[in-house]
Structure 1
Amino acid sequence: MMSILVHFVHLFQKDEMIAIDLEFHQWQLQYQISTTFLLLVITPTLYYLYCKYVTSSPNAYNKLESPVNFTISIPEEARPNWKGKRLYPKPSVAIENDDTKIRSYCPATGQNLGVFNATSRTEMDEMIANAAKAQEKWSKSSFSIRRKLLKSLAKFILENQENIARIACRDSGKTKLDASMGEIMVTLEKLNWIVAHGEKVLKPSQRPGPSNFLLGLLKNAEVRYEPMGVVSSIISWNYPFHNLMGPVIAALFTGNAIIVKCSENVVWSSKWFIEMCRTALRSLDIDQDLIQLCCCFPKDADYFTSHPGIRHITFIGSKPIAHHVVTNAAKELTPCVVELGGKDAFIVLDDVEDIDAISSIILRGTFQSAGQNCIGIERVICMPRTYDKMVTLLTERVPQLRVGSDIDQLDEIDMGAMISDNRFKYFEDLIQDAVKKGAKLVCGGKPYQHPNYPQGHFFEPTLLIDVDPSMDVFNQEVFGPILTMIKAESINNAIELANASEYGLGNSIFGSNYKQLNQLANELKSGNVAINDFATYYVAQLPFGGVKKSGYGKFGGEEGLLGLCNAKSVVMDKPFFRMLGVATSIPKPIDYPIKDDKKAWGFVRSLNIAGYDGRIWAKVKAFKSLAKGGA
């Protein structure tokens, strides 16, 4: 989707003349048409068709409830050229000898963002109680008010994109471009999709009545989707805005309350994002206690994840932490969706047509957010002929990437900081192990001390080539700015290499033969696959989640919304029989006390034959037996 959008924008900017050949019977006509004119005609037409056939209403957006305006002040720390105190010598979220406080700081500049109280266990109890009280009323709210809330949030986000990006950057160290594409765009996508389709997803699902012939005549059935109550999301720091907003949007639209447990690394921004949501609630006279924020260290997180007041947990994080979360959740049998890391492969076949374009996708997929992306590209697997060309291109392009901070608009940069430096030694060990076993370090491979931001957590963009499965970097999740190149001997070998991982989150595969690519996608052992693109499966309308050690369960799409609901099965008499006063009753042969065991058995036996036997004569005989009371 993103690549298509960029392509259209590129055409619009060029405003070049293109030739269109129209062949009709024996006649051939050629027209010169401005691409700008073409876009102005095609875009509204495509949107109309989308609304008509996808949303079932040409004016679907206009018919929805109008959003309300609300305002919230932007933190001083998020303003351009903010002069905050830098922490020396080494910033840390922990404060020595005080585990009740959490420090926030900018990973790119080392500037202090403040000290915040960790949520105590007593406060967790109060949060859950207050959320439960607010949810009782919210569970009965209309889809109309829920849409209005989501549209109000979407309007605010659209009108405050730079401020939101700046807040996310200040707390995570990423670039504003990364924040816009990876945080704001996907959040708006989710808001708009749920506004357009959420009610349809959550309406009662009509099902056939019992397949028994007799009962099926009498009964209708449906599944009703009811909110669970107070749900929670335990989210990672790499996307402080989107990872927070995604679960909040889904929880509120399904009629739940939510308590977000943010990472201790991004408390400062999480507080503002939660206050943004609570301000939207207040502007619509909705109880703000529907949304709560919990921030604590691991010692108290166990209490939170095993709390009996939490009805569902969405966890986004690492595999080691997931073990603790699901173990604690099991104490209360709390259902979980667990979205963990990946070791995503990017497969390039020898018949690809545009190596340059693919190299750009590789750079974006590897180095966006400094590689701190669960669906980031961890392994580039190329066929022999493509491999050499790709190595040549990337050897030229990776060293050109500029590292730094663009929060204060001082530099033109390509890659920002990492959240902390606690994994730098791990990165260096992976690289040394690979080189020792035969890989070649083309560039990077070590921490980078920025001249303007000496306290920042920067690691050089790294290119490793000739990587193979014997190396730790092939098998272990990197979650950092290290691009690894692997040569495959054949297509089958490329698939084997991609599947040779304990993870299975997402994969990409590129080539010219779509039929072949479509078949190969079936052979990749992962929860998501993009064909001739990267990460396009991470959209609001699709369920997202992995297999193997990448977790289980899905969020996003219909599955994500329904997963936050209790599915209640309801069976009722059909309206016609209710009108006649016909109701189900216990037949006399099987009513307690059983008067004649032989007749009772004969009655049930005949009932099964009449209901399920496909032979007409057998059914006739069974009905005759039933008429005689089972005799």
Structure 2
Amino acid sequence: MSTTLSSSLESLLNWLSTLTLGQIWLAIYNPPNKLSVAILLISLSIKMPEYLKRWQTWRASKRVVDFKWPVPKEAFKSWQGRIIERPNLFSHKDDESLVPPENGKTGGDERYHITCYDPATGYHLLTLPLLSAEEVSAQISKAHAAQPQWAKTTFAQRISFLRSIKAWVLRDMAGIARVACRDTGKTEVDAVFGEILTTLSKLDWLINYGERTLSPQARPGNLLLAHKVSKVHYQPLGTVLALVSWNYSFHNVISPILAALFAGDTIVVKCSEQVAWSSMWFVGGIKACLRACGLDEDVVQLVVCLPEVAETITRNELVKHITFIGSEPVGKKVAAAAAEIMVPTCIELGGKDPAFILPGTDLDFSASTWMRGAFQSSGQNCIGIELFLVHRSQYSRFIEIMTPRVSALRPGYDVGSLISHTPIQRLESILSSAQSSGARILSGGKAHHHPTYAQGAYFEPTLVVDVTMDMDIAQEELFAPVMTVVPYDDVDEAIGWLNKSRFGLGAGVYGKSQAECRRVAEKLECGMVAINE
């Protein structure tokens, strides 16, 4: 009898605990009898600890920790550095005075360096000693050792950390943008659009939806498993690796860090050597925030090393996932190395994203959008517009609108520099080949010699028209401030042209009819399509 009573009481308490606060509140204001009120009060007392815990968690997640991370002097507009005559990653080999004496040797062996410089001015920023394979392995081990404890942090702690990072970005966005500009040569407008706004968007999504996305989720089963409960639980992977590109030096470094830490992983970031100076400062800001929040800064490790050393990272068995942003040849090497140790990868390679302009499109309305799509960050944008397909009926008008706009762009003011001088010869060769095959260059088409910064890596904003799809310029990723225009006569034929490309990153479709835009978008074989955006 006692056992039966105990079982019944347990069942009653379980039922009471399933009542929501709304049900309890409604019933109190509409009590049918005293017994019902008593039951509801008991239920409320059972649920109260849970609601109290939820309130405390919510309050903790709203906590914002202030911290200081000074902007380096090199980022200020008034700063003037030493001009390097022929700036490149290995300028210190031509001029040994660029290497500080204390960085020349390590353990009796010569240490490798890279020269960090501003590609817009040629100013020397830093000559940085690179990590050896052993030092890189040590940093991976450090992140690996910090992961079990980090996985025990609560979502509230992680959200508080993200809120603190967001507050830093909002407070110091001008300084962050200038650091990115100094290391990449981009304009401040491009830095705000491509670095600050995108990072804030990522932060907002993680803060608002991250916990919900990673919380356990029920899954329906079939009739034979009706008596079972199926749930998906998301567990941290461990230590993950991000190999990131240089074109968005802040966003590309910070974005995988935020996602990994929120998921309970620790992360090793291998930045591009081209932006090592800014990457060190950005990751330093993340570590400063972790310290201020009372969290372990070892959960984030930045490595700066040569490509041959980086190959050892992708084969390190402590790494449980690899993200790569970069070129197609390097991406193949990363995928092959990861396959050897059976590690999953997420790889984003190059693109040749087209703007597909349908007949009847309002050209004047979208002209500014297309200008930004082609020339943001000097065209060094993986999802920038590399190719404009314009229907023959509007082809002349499109050229008429774009020619004065492109010609008016001022290198160093409206459009920043390239990341280095290295691409310039290739660009001039591709444009010359296109001209020889019948294309016309209406503006630009060659390197720009800046009147103040003679060592700057500038390329004139370029408009090239009468391009056909069999030309190299229509098939190769340029990653440069070049607007390439191709006329077409038949929409479906043009779709076929684009689907033959080996690239399939993204595309944009523009037109008056949403139905026709969607029809074209659905036929394009690429990862993402924007409509009238």
TM-score, normalization by structure 2: 0.85
The reply to whether residue 509 of structure 1 matches residue 521 of structure 2 is no
User: Any residues of structure 2 matched to 1:325-474 within 5 Å, and which?
Assistant: 325-353=334-362, 355-404=363-412, 413-474=413-474
Q: Does residue 307 of structure 1 match 2:316?
A: yes
Which of 199, 208, 211 is residue 220 of structure 2 equivalent to? 208
1:92 equivalent in structure 2: 89
Q: Post-superposition shift, 1:340? A: 0.7
Distance between the aligned counterparts of 2:360 and 2:111, measured in 1? Answer: 57
Residues 486-507 of structure 1 show CA distances to partners (whole Å, capped at 9, x for unaligned) of: 0011211232233231001110
CA distance in 2, matches of 1:125, 1:466: 52
Could you report, residue by residue, the CA deviation over 1:577-603 in whole angstroms, capped at 9, with x for unpaired residues? xxxxxxxxxxxxxxxxxxxxxxxxxxx
User: Which amino acid in 2 is paired with 1:341?
Assistant: G
Aligned residue among 44, 47, 70 for 1:73? 70
Aligned to 1:592: none
Q: Indicate the residue corresponding to 1:272 in structure 2.
A: 281
Equivalent of residue 179 in structure 1, options 188, 191, 203:
191
Cα distance, 1:62–1:459 mapped onto 2, change above 3 Å: farther
**Structure 1 residue 453, shift from structure 2 partner:** 0.3
Quickly say closer, same or farther: Cα 1:514–1:171, change in 2 above 3 A.
Answer: same
- The CA deviation at 1:470 is 1.7
Q: Equivalents in 2 of 1:187, 1:509: separation in Å?
A: 26
After superposition, residues 531-570 of structure 1 pair within 5 angstroms as 531-533=531-533
Distance 1:286 1:119 in 2: 26
Q: 1:62 to 1:504 in 2, by over 3 A?
A: farther
- Go from structure 1 to structure 2 and tell me whether the alpha carbon gap of 1:93 and 1:199 turns closer, same or farther (over 3 Å shift): farther
Matched residue of 2:186: which SS? coil
Alpha-carbon distance between aligned partners in 1 of 2:75 and 2:288, rounded to the nearest angstrom: 19
2:121 to 106, 109, 116: 109
Residue 221 (structure 2) pairs with residue 224 (structure 1): no
Taking the aligned partners of 1:366 and 1:99, their CA distance within structure 2 comes to: 41
Is contact 1:127-1:292 (8 Å) kept? yes
In structure 1, C-alpha distance between the alignment counterparts of 2:207 and 2:466, rounded to whole Å: 47
Q: Name the residue aligned to 1:128.
A: 140
C-alpha contact (below 8 Å) 2:60/2:160 kept by paired residues = no
Q: Cα distance, 1:64 vs. partner?
A: 4.3
* SS in structure 1 of the partner of residue 456 of structure 2: coil
Partner of 1:559: none
Q: Which residue of 2 aligns with 1:54?
A: none
Q: For 1:72 and 1:337, locate their aligned partners in 2 and report how far apart those are by CA, in whole Å.
A: 32
Note the 1:163-178 alignment, pairs <5 A.
Answer: 163-178=175-190
Distance apart, 1:94 and its partner CA: 5.7
Q: Which moved more, 1:75-84 or 1:230-239?
A: 75-84
Q: Secondary structure at the match of 1:265?
A: helix
Asked if the contact 2:469–2:475 (Cα under 8 Å) also holds between the matched residues in 1, the reply is yes
Alignment CA distance shift 1:491-1:110 (3 Å):
same
Tell me the amino acid that sits aligned with residue 431 of structure 2: I
State, as a whole percentage, how many aligned pairs show the same letter. 39
Match of 1:158 in 2: 170
| Amino acid in the other structure paired with 2:371 | L
Cα separation, 2, equivalents of 1:68 and 1:477: 43
Contact 1:383 / 1:494 at 8 angstroms: preserved in 2?
Answer: no
Deviations 1:515-559 (A, max 9, x none): 1111111001110000111xxxxxxxxxxxxxxxxxxxxxxxxxx
Matched residues in 1 for 2:261 and 2:297: separation? 11
In structure 2, do the counterparts of structure 1 residues 63 and 463 end up closer, same or farther at CA, with 3 Å as the change threshold?
Answer: same
Residue 133 of structure 1 aligns with an amino acid whose one-letter code is A
SS of 2:63's partner is coil
Where 1:227 maps in the other structure, the secondary structure is coil
In structure 2, the CA distance between the partners of 1:382 and 1:134, relative to structure 1 (3 Å rule), is: same
Distance 1:521 1:184 in 2: 29
Specify the code of the residue in structure 1 equivalent to 2:450: H
Residue 352 of structure 1 aligns with an amino acid whose one-letter code is T
Q: Structure 1 residues 488, 116: CA separation in 2 closer, same or farther (over 3 Å shift)?
A: same
Letter in 2 for 1:153: I
Using the TM superposition, name which of 314-323 and 116-125 deviates more.
116-125
In structure 2, the CA distance between the partners of 1:451 and 1:372, relative to structure 1 (3 Å rule), is: same
CA distances 1:130-169 after superposition (whole Å, capped 9, x unpaired): 1112111111111000000000000000000100000000
Q: Any idea what SS the aligned residue of 2:396 has?
A: helix
Amino acid in structure 1 at the alignment position of 2:438? G
Kindly provide the amino acid, as one letter, of the partner of residue 313 in structure 2.
Answer: F
Question: How many matched pairs?
Answer: 462
Deviation at 1:88, TM superposition (A): 1.4
SS of the residue corresponding to residue 229 of structure 2 reads strand
Residue 528 (1) aligns with residue 528 (2): yes
Find the residue that maps to 2:323 and give its secondary structure. Answer: strand
Residue 280 of structure 1, CA deviation: 0.5
1:290 to 285, 288, 299: 299
Q: Is the CA contact 1:91–1:455 (under 8 Å) kept in the aligned structure 2?
A: no
| Counterparts of 2:321 and 2:91, CA distance in 1 | 29
- C-alpha change, 1:471 and 1:62, in structure 2 (3 Å) is farther
Which of 250, 254, 261 is matched with 1:245 structurally?
254
CA distance in 1, matches of 2:373, 2:394: 18
Going from structure 1 to structure 2, the CA distance change for 1:508 and 1:63 (only over 3 Å counts) comes to farther
- Per-residue CA distance 1:378-406 (angstroms, 9 max, x = gap): 100011122111111111111100011xx
In structure 2, distance between residues paired with 1:285 and 1:134:
14
Is 1:196 matched with 2:177?
no
Separation in 2 of the partners of 1:501 and 1:64? 47
Q: Secondary structure at the match of 2:234?
A: strand
Q: Please give the per-residue CA displacement for 1:28-66, whole angstroms capped at 9, x wherever unaligned.
A: xxxxxxxxxxxxxxxxxxxxxxxxxxxxxxxx9989412
Asked if the contact 1:232/1:312 (under 8 Å) is kept, the reply is: yes
Aligned-pair Cα RMSD in Å: 1.6
Alignment partners' CA distance in 2, 1:384 and 1:510? 15
For 2:69 and 2:483, the matched residues in 1 are separated by 40
Q: Judge which range, 326-335 or 413-422, deviates more.
A: 326-335
Question: Partner of 2:319: helix, strand, or coil?
Answer: coil
CA distance in structure 2 between the aligned counterparts of 1:218 and 1:193, rounded to whole angstroms: 36
Matched residues in 2 for 1:518 and 1:299: separation? 45
Q: Which residue of 1 aligns with 2:263?
A: 254
Contact 1:352/1:512 (CA < 8 Å) preserved in 2? yes
**Structure 2 counterpart SS, 1:420:** coil
Aligned to 2:47: none
Conservation of the 8 A alpha-carbon contact between 2:354 and 2:387:
yes
Q: Distance in 2 between matches of 1:302 and 1:247?
A: 20
Structure-2 separation of matches of 1:423 and 1:194: 36
Does structure 2 conserve the Cα–Cα contact (< 8 Å) formed by 1:93 and 1:265? no
- Does structure 1 conserve the Cα–Cα contact (< 8 Å) formed by 2:91 and 2:115? yes
Q: In the alignment, residue 290 of structure 1 is paired with which amino acid?
A: V
CA contact (8 A) 1:143 1:253 kept: yes
Task: Specify the SS of the correspondent of 1:89.
Answer: coil
Shift of residue 99, structure 1, vs aligned partner: 6.4
Amino acid at match of 1:286: L
- Asked if the contact 2:58/2:156 (under 8 Å) is kept, the reply is no
Alpha-carbon spacing, 1:253–1:264, altered in 2? closer, same or farther (3 Å): same
Deviations 1:335-385 (A, max 9, x none): 1100011000101112213x1232211111111101100001010001112
Which residue pairs with 2:46 in the alignment? none
Whose helix proportion is higher, 1 or 2?
2
